[in-house]
Amino acid sequence: MNYGYFDGENKEYVITKPNTPAPWANYLGSPEYGAIISNNAGGYSFVKSGANGRIIRYRFNAINMDQPGRYIYLRDNDNGDYWSGSWQPVGKPLDKYENQCHHGTAYTNIKSKYTNIKAETLYYVPLDKTYEVWRVKVTNEDTKVRNLSLYGYVEFSNENNYEQDSVNLQYTQYITKTYFRNNKIIQTINENVKQSVNGSTGKERFFGVAGAEVAAYEGDRDTFVGEYRNYSNPIAVESGKCQKVLNYNTNSCGALQIDITLNPGETKELAFVLGAHNDDASSKILASYEDLSQVEKELQELKDYWHGKLNNFQINTPDENFNHMINTWNSYQCFITFVWSRAASFQYCGLRNGYGFRDTVQDIQGIIHLAPELALEKIKFMISGQVDNGGGLPLVKFDHNPGHEMTPDDPAYTYDRYRADDALWLFPTILKYINETGNDDFLDEVIPFANKGEATVYEHLKRAINFSMERQGNNGMPAGLHADWNDCLRMGAKGESTFVAFQLYYAMAILKNIATDKKDDAYVAYLDEKLAELKETMQTKCWEGDQFIRGIREDGIVVGSKNDPEANLWLNPQSWAVISGCADKEQCEKALDKVYERLNTPYGAVLLDPPYKDHAFDGALMLLFNPSTKENGGIFSQSQGWIILAEALMGRGNKAFEYYRECSPAEMNDNAEVRKLEPYAHGQFIEAKESPFQGRAHVHWLTGTASTVMVGCVEGILGMRPTVDGLNISPSVPSDWKEFSIFKSFRGKKLNILVKNPDGKEGGVRELIVNGEKVEGSFLPVSMLKEENEIIATM
């Protein structure tokens, strides 16, 4: 069953049935002011941090699900009937209540029609602003005059810190007050505190309205809702009268009642505005919306900004769903993970106050082809999260202070120990950035280390290699340390992971090219030797004839051997054998074939098989999860990006695309009741064969899947493989694609690429015609580029 459709032209997903199997979310705002909103207006807002800057509440994991939110209630004052602008929370019968939610790029527009009253609420955070706007339009489509009340409602948190607000009730209930001032509710927190006490100073929030007079209000949540009621039937709405009660030692809220009379055909428009600003500042903000045309201007600015970024890479292929994902939704999701990391969603409550090193360094890869300038800023920031010993800080805090951070070597450091993989992610990310932009001067830029000192980017990369070299296991591979990419894998301090070994191999190969360019001959020789040694180890100790093992524990026992009773084939070592360039062609083919045979399912390849149940070792923490779930043999969606890329690098376009389709949210649009999560956003994992709910996806939006699948599709399937000197065009596509086109911004120039596939190939390009000039092979030199270029690539 579907609950909506993709509107490619407007870059929107339109939800036509509001009773979606899970709240289907969208992200609004920027790191300064972020908001998450569902198709039923559920969700929450925060300033800078989901954990420490929470302004509005959301009850995670609760019944009623997806509450509270940014509610608009409507009441017919002639008969007492009431409903909400979003289907929930009132939840009118769907045969009488029409609803559409348009999730767009950083805005959401929820439309309803009930008893001939149309309502439309546009939610957004204006570009570079630190508040949110809910513009409401109500239209009377009846033949008679309608007397209505409209209520804007928000449940404030009583305290910025989410955990404190949720659990420390003996404190948080007694620190806030609300006031009504003209057209707004002001909420104060610790209002007596003029200077910092225990690190806390007074705070203010506001919820106001522009374009309408407030008839009545409520600042006290329980007065608005009423005893033993809930958001589906708040007494203030049912009775038609807010009591003008302000909270004092209770829970706060902002509720503003506006009475309106509408003639037939008449529309009334107003805007609620919410943020963390004081009386003065919020008055000014509200005044700027007295002329409501401001809203349309700001909406256009948002679209210009986001569409501008997304339009840097657009495709037109025979597969509509692929187009929607690449042109809009996967790209937009990459920006969201890039900005918010794993900070705030309907699963992440906001408690992680920083960027996971590996997560963000990978997230960056998803936007390099769309916004290399933003990627650069974040790359520098993440490099400054590298410790001077070459390792990555497990978590780079939002308020990271380069040069002054503690490290896992400091006894007082509490977060975590070093992971084996963190700093190794820098290599592909920096390489992709340099290749996209040609900016190899970046390698000479000096960037501080997290703890002390500074060095060029080149030196940072060398230290990352050193970090692995100084922490070797018993067999010549890097030691597993706390874990590798797989959070659940404890190999022991001297245990070894083949995934990390392949990453190290790839990193050294990348750095060797850089060192060669820099004529750093001694270092090139060093890397040559290390590359050869590592390759030898991988060949002799890790290859089992048709698959690579997952690692060797400290006690010498192999993990992921084909002879193991459980977890005897792991996905990532096979895909990374290809990506790293460490395996030979025959090994790559055998390993990929084995993955396809043993690990593939209708929803993607499982991470390992069979899941652990009875034969796990002590460090196999995935045993904690149910079989076919998350790291215990679930379809870990991030890894799908790597298998797509691996197949594509081998020129096996049919398989690459098959893996893409299996895990693509859009492909599940018509089976949304199975997938549950949004059909326009990747989740962290999908339940696999041993689950009774095979195909159900979990942990929406904030996942490394966004960037790995993006890279798998753009670099792999679509074959956009820039180098410093130009662009390799090397698609690996389904053999029945006869033709497709790509628009790519590249080095400030426009590329219109038409790929022709007359012979039904699945990989490779034999000839290019660049602005009418024939070029043998697939490489487009940057020297041939004009401002706008017509390129025909023949497969």
User: Which active-site residues does the annotation give?
Assistant: 487
345 sits near ligand NOJ (criterion: CB under 6 A): no
Distance separating alpha carbons of residues 363 and 437, to the nearest angstrom? 18
Query: Considering beta carbons, is residue 187 or 337 the nearer one to ligand NOJ?
Result: 337
Distance separating alpha carbons of residues 234 and 227, to the nearest angstrom? 9
Closest distance of CB 348 from ligand NOJ, Å = 10
Q: Residue type at 22?
A: A
Closest distance of CB 172 from ligand NOJ, Å = 30
Closest distance of CB 341 from ligand NOJ, Å = 9
487 sits near ligand NOJ (criterion: CB under 6 A): yes
Distance separating alpha carbons of residues 404 and 425, to the nearest angstrom? 23
Q: Work out whether strand 788-794 and strand 749-756 pair parallel, antiparallel, or are unpaired.
A: parallel
The residues in 407-466 that bind ligand NOJ, with binding defined as CB under 6 A, are none
Stretch that binds ligand NOJ, among 103-111, 259-267, 331-339, 485-493 (CB under 6 A): 485-493
Query: Considering beta carbons, is residue 50 or 763 the nearer one to ligand NOJ?
Result: 50
Write the burial class of residue 329 (CB in 10 Å: 0-12 exposed, 13-18 middle, 19+ buried). buried
486 sits near ligand NOJ (criterion: CB under 6 A): yes
Stretch that binds ligand NOJ, among 177-185, 353-361, 560-568, 648-656 (CB under 6 A): 353-361
Distance separating alpha carbons of residues 270 and 699, to the nearest angstrom? 35
The residues in 168-227 that bind ligand NOJ, with binding defined as CB under 6 A, are none
12 sits near ligand NOJ (criterion: CB under 6 A): no
Q: b/e string for 656-674 if b means 16 or more Cβ within 10 A?
A: bbbbbbbbbbbbbbeebeb
Query: Considering beta carbons, is residue 340 or 523 the nearer one to ligand NOJ?
Result: 340
Stretch that binds ligand NOJ, among 202-210, 463-471, 480-488, 569-577 (CB under 6 A): 480-488
Element (H, E) at 260: strand 252-262
The residues that bridge with 454 in the sheet, in sequence order, are 448
Distance separating alpha carbons of residues 60 and 66, to the nearest angstrom? 8
Query: Considering beta carbons, is residue 204 or 359 the nearer one to ligand NOJ?
Result: 359
Closest distance of CB 702 from ligand NOJ, Å = 8
- 485, 523, 576, 740: residue in contact with ligand NOJ (rule CB under 6 A): 485
Closest distance of CB 578 from ligand NOJ, Å = 19
Distance separating alpha carbons of residues 356 and 374, to the nearest angstrom? 18
Closest distance of CB 767 from ligand NOJ, Å = 41
Query: Considering beta carbons, is residue 134 or 485 the nearer one to ligand NOJ?
Result: 485
Query: Considering beta carbons, is residue 392 or 679 the nearer one to ligand NOJ?
Result: 392
* Measured CA distances, 324 to 10, 15, 331 (Å): 11, 15, 10
Query: Considering beta carbons, is residue 434 or 702 the nearer one to ligand NOJ?
Result: 702
Site string for ligand NOJ, 315-344 (x = CB under 6 A): ---------------------------x--
- 111, 129, 184, 358: residue in contact with ligand NOJ (rule CB under 6 A): 358
Closest distance of CB 434 from ligand NOJ, Å = 24
Write the burial class of residue 483 (CB in 10 Å: 0-12 exposed, 13-18 middle, 19+ buried). buried
Closest distance of CB 358 from ligand NOJ, Å = 5
Query: Considering beta carbons, is residue 445 or 487 the nearer one to ligand NOJ?
Result: 487
Which tokens is 502 given?
């392949």
Query: Considering beta carbons, is residue 436 or 496 the nearer one to ligand NOJ?
Result: 496
499 sits near ligand NOJ (criterion: CB under 6 A): no
Q: Residue type at 389?
A: N
CB atoms within 10 A of CB 153: 29
Stretch that binds ligand NOJ, among 255-263, 408-416, 481-489, 689-697 (CB under 6 A): 481-489
Distance separating alpha carbons of residues 215 and 566, to the nearest angstrom? 67
Reduced to 3 states (helix: H, G, I; strand: E, B; else coil), residue 102 is: strand
Query: Considering beta carbons, is residue 306 or 485 the nearer one to ligand NOJ?
Result: 485
Which tokens is 706 given?
């966004």
Q: Residue type at 513?
A: N
677 in Cβ contact with 649 (< 8 Å): no
- 85, 356, 402, 712: residue in contact with ligand NOJ (rule CB under 6 A): 356
Count of residues interacting with ligand NOJ (CB under 6 A): 9
Closest distance of CB 419 from ligand NOJ, Å = 9
Stretch that binds ligand NOJ, among 99-107, 253-261, 484-492, 539-547 (CB under 6 A): 484-492
Closest distance of CB 701 from ligand NOJ, Å = 13
Distance separating alpha carbons of residues 357 and 381, to the nearest angstrom? 10
> How many CA within 13 A on the CB side of residue 249?
1
Stretch that binds ligand NOJ, among 91-99, 215-223, 234-242, 483-491 (CB under 6 A): 483-491
Reduced to 3 states (helix: H, G, I; strand: E, B; else coil), residue 424 is: helix
- 132, 422, 631, 667: residue in contact with ligand NOJ (rule CB under 6 A): 631
**Which of 343, 256, 249 has its CA nearest to residue 27?**
343
69 in Cβ contact with 230 (< 8 Å): no
Backbone angles phi, psi at 38, to 5 degrees: -95, 175
Distance separating alpha carbons of residues 190 and 170, to the nearest angstrom? 14
Check residue 699 and give left, alpha or beta (phi > 0: left; psi -120 to 50: alpha).
left
Dihedral sign for Cα atoms in the order 219, 64, 4, 665? positive
Q: Residue type at 310?
A: L
Q: b/e string for 768-788 if b means 16 or more Cβ within 10 A?
A: bebeeeebeebbbeeeebeee
762 sits near ligand NOJ (criterion: CB under 6 A): no
The residues in 222-281 that bind ligand NOJ, with binding defined as CB under 6 A, are none
Q: b/e string for 136-150 if b means 16 or more Cβ within 10 A?
A: bbbbbeeeeebebbb
Cα-trace Rg, the chain? 28
Residue with the closest Cβ to ligand NOJ? 487
359 sits near ligand NOJ (criterion: CB under 6 A): yes
Query: Considering beta carbons, is residue 331 or 486 the nearer one to ligand NOJ?
Result: 486
Which tokens is 407 given?
């490290």
Closest distance of CB 393 from ligand NOJ, Å = 13
151 in Cβ contact with 240 (< 8 Å): no
CB atoms within 10 A of CB 11: 21
Stretch that binds ligand NOJ, among 99-107, 331-339, 352-360, 662-670 (CB under 6 A): 352-360
Stretch that binds ligand NOJ, among 177-185, 262-270, 328-336, 354-362 (CB under 6 A): 354-362
The residues in 56-115 that bind ligand NOJ, with binding defined as CB under 6 A, are none
DSSP 743-777: EEEETTEEEEEEEE-TT--SS---EEEETTEEEES
Query: Considering beta carbons, is residue 158 or 362 the nearer one to ligand NOJ?
Result: 362
Closest distance of CB 607 from ligand NOJ, Å = 9
Query: Considering beta carbons, is residue 206 or 467 the nearer one to ligand NOJ?
Result: 467
Which tokens is 228 given?
């033993």
The residues in 680-719 that bind ligand NOJ, with binding defined as CB under 6 A, are 704
Closest distance of CB 485 from ligand NOJ, Å = 4
Contact positions vs ligand NOJ (CB under 6 A): 342, 356, 358-359, 485-487, 631, 704
